[in-house]
Structure 1
């Protein structure tokens, strides 16, 4: 029943190993998972601002597009933006055919009742609807952020990409969600917080074969949470999918100001975890919420500072553990023999085995079976 989730999660690990701007010099290597996380942040912020401004955004539709549009990349592998632009110019019908084939390959993994929904979502991700325009703008802003970072050291290589990105963004100058975002007093502070998460490496005290950052990890958590919540709903267990995905995408934002404090450290002394929570709230209030409109703060604050509360919070916690398990598996499967990864993996699998969600229990058991099959 749930095997397709495992297959999609395996496919999605390609997002960690596909690097962007690979044909240009860079000062910070960013992969597709990191880029997708930044784009998702911009999309969510524009959506929240649009809703507060009276424009109704279909949030479930938007979130499905944000996550599923990345999956064909896992099949197509790395095609640079410049190359893609020329392919579309020289033979647009060939590009469309290639992309459709990639979508079909992704969809072939899915159960029959899910194929049409996912396929249509991917193919129409960037249409002219408000949701599609938000995603298009967010992708452009994410690429622009990366190009601006790299251009500080390599201006001659990024002058033309930046010019094109800025020119394309001008086409959206009258798009209200975009205007509201880039003209906000707090936007630059939020962008800086996201840059920190792009470079914050997880499991930093251990040598890694496949390094993941907080940004890339958070996007993978969002994919995991979406797939689990989607499946639970399909099988009659009502879970607020929108709430789950929003919390997964926001849950690591405090690490942009506190750094990555690992769970074992938080739990070393009774009461220390509560102190860390108070410190997080104080620093996030100062660095991120201080100049935000109070209505937007109300929307974001519980999802950033209390993401694991309630039923949806348990799903978010499961997705967070699942993403960490996949990171451990990537290390083990690529020959990293440090015992810390096996110890963490077994501990987290034991936690997930006790989950109230049948989808979570199945996935954890599938990973355990896979490890036994590999003799690990």
Structure 2
């Protein structure tokens, strides 16, 4: 059973410190963790559209390859962050040089990722022997290029004096054109379509900073938080021997769980809990706005199955994204608690999804955000109280198999 350690959580979180486009004039700070979240949201959409006709086992295998490939590339990126893309692509053209770089990266990552067992073995194989033309890599590359181009469009108007900008612009257009054969890609690249609107709205979540009443370093966004929760959910899924469908669903649920905050902004827990009826009012508003601005347009343009899939991740038919559930055909059923899911629904054919474990990952990501800022010297009574409250909640969790007490003891 893979062991989740402090070093893994901190490595995953470290993308919140990495600046992107940091040799260009930027209207806002662009962070690696936000880009990765945007990329994986798009990769999920492209996976769904391009796997519709696949048998169930191949569909699940493709989702896992995309999720893990995204994580493999992210960890690789954390090590080579100072290498500009044109230089990296030049290195990649020389197999011997690229292998040397890759071996260096894997050596750096091994102490942290090797405890994940088979995940680490798959990561080595992905970087050393992978098929660059496989559907999983094409989907990830297309999503990567779109998310990077989205950022580029933010900075381009401010960098008219930079003689690199036209070449970068043309490079994005030419490379993205080679992926228009992927189902859904044409719609994503066509302004005013429902898929393009969804892709754009997801990108805007990087502008919503969490904990607005408590200055922090790093100041994580809602978008970056979603990626951290997704990664934690996937690693804990591996640690409890979740079936492939369950692990995939947990990652994608983590990735989408704060999507409604596009419509309401990030409302901190004390405010939500200050009025008894406020959570219900917020939820009703979120669901109405989701339907009006995202789901309705997608359905009208033929993406009804995608809407149903995102709705499943958001737990709309069972009351919460943090409610355990499973599916039989088109019907969704509540499962009463983690133990029941683990005991009787941990099977690919039931398409299970965790609830409590995802909530723990949400709290754990928030704990990392508070702890990291305090460790970096930016603190406040509000932040210290939040860190203590979150730690207490996590230590009191009934999910003993996650060994949260031992994990959190390393943060003392």
Whether TM-score is above 0.5 comes out as: yes
**Paired position in structure 2 for 1:139:** 144
**Paired position in structure 1 for 2:323:** 309
Question: CA separation in 1, counterparts of 2:82 and 2:400?
Answer: 35
| Aligned counterpart for 2:196 among listed residues 188, 196, 199 | 188
| Aligned counterpart for 1:70 among listed residues 65, 71, 74 | 74
How many Å apart are 1:249 and its aligned residue? 0.4
Per the alignment, in what secondary structure is the counterpart of residue 69 of structure 1? helix
How many Å apart are 1:156 and its aligned residue? 4.9
| Aligned counterpart for 2:252 among listed residues 230, 243, 246 | 246
Question: CA separation in 2, counterparts of 1:182 and 1:124?
Answer: 31
| Aligned counterpart for 1:321 among listed residues 353, 363, 366 | 363
**Paired position in structure 1 for 2:99:** 96
**Paired position in structure 1 for 2:183:** 176
Change in 2 beyond 3 A, CA 1:32/1:7: same
Per the alignment, in what secondary structure is the counterpart of residue 127 of structure 1? coil
- Larger deviation, residues 333-342 vs 100-109: 100-109
Change in 2 beyond 3 A, CA 1:273/1:4: closer
1:230, 1:241 within 8 Å by CA — same for their partners in 2? yes
Question: CA separation in 2, counterparts of 1:193 and 1:364?
Answer: 37
Q: Which has the higher helix share?
A: 1
**Superposed CA offset, 1:186-223 (max 9, x none):** 02321331232111111111112211111111111111
Change in 2 beyond 3 A, CA 1:125/1:200: farther
**Superposed CA offset, 1:103-150 (max 9, x none):** 232133322733313322455677221111100111111111111111
- Larger deviation, residues 31-40 vs 3-12: 3-12
Question: CA separation in 2, counterparts of 1:19 and 1:359?
Answer: 36
1:333 aligns with 2:375: yes
Question: CA separation in 2, counterparts of 1:41 and 1:28?
Answer: 21
1:67, 1:222 within 8 Å by CA — same for their partners in 2? no
**Paired position in structure 1 for 2:328:** none
How many Å apart are 1:270 and its aligned residue? 1.5
2:6, 2:411 within 8 Å by CA — same for their partners in 1? no
| Aligned counterpart for 2:395 among listed residues 350, 353, 358 | 353
**Superposed CA offset, 1:277-335 (max 9, x none):** 11110111111112112222111123235321114021211111111010011111111
1:46, 1:181 within 8 Å by CA — same for their partners in 2? no
Note the 1:259-274 alignment, pairs <5 A.
259-274=265-280
How many Å apart are 1:84 and its aligned residue? 1.8
Question: CA separation in 1, counterparts of 2:187 and 2:379?
Answer: 49
Question: CA separation in 2, counterparts of 1:323 and 1:263?
Answer: 15
- Larger deviation, residues 225-234 vs 73-82: 73-82
Question: CA separation in 1, counterparts of 2:375 and 2:250?
Answer: 29
Let me know the Cα RMSD of the aligned residues: 2.4
Q: If the length of structure 1 is used for normalisation, what is the TM-score?
A: 0.89
Question: CA separation in 2, counterparts of 1:22 and 1:126?
Answer: 31
How many Å apart are 1:49 and its aligned residue? 1.2
Count residues with an aligned counterpart: 367
Question: CA separation in 1, counterparts of 2:407 and 2:96?
Answer: 40
Per the alignment, in what secondary structure is the counterpart of residue 355 of structure 2? helix
**Paired position in structure 1 for 2:115:** 111
Per the alignment, in what secondary structure is the counterpart of residue 220 of structure 1? helix
Question: CA separation in 1, counterparts of 2:127 and 2:405?
Answer: 27
How many Å apart are 1:182 and its aligned residue? 3.5
Unmatched 5+ stretches in structure 2: 325-337, 339-353
Question: CA separation in 1, counterparts of 2:101 and 2:270?
Answer: 46
**Paired position in structure 2 for 1:366:** 407
How many Å apart are 1:239 and its aligned residue? 8.4
Per the alignment, in what secondary structure is the counterpart of residue 244 of structure 1? helix
**Paired position in structure 2 for 1:294:** 304
2:9, 2:232 within 8 Å by CA — same for their partners in 1? yes
1:214 aligns with 2:222: yes
**Paired position in structure 2 for 1:49:** 49
Q: If the length of structure 2 is used for normalisation, what is the TM-score?
A: 0.82
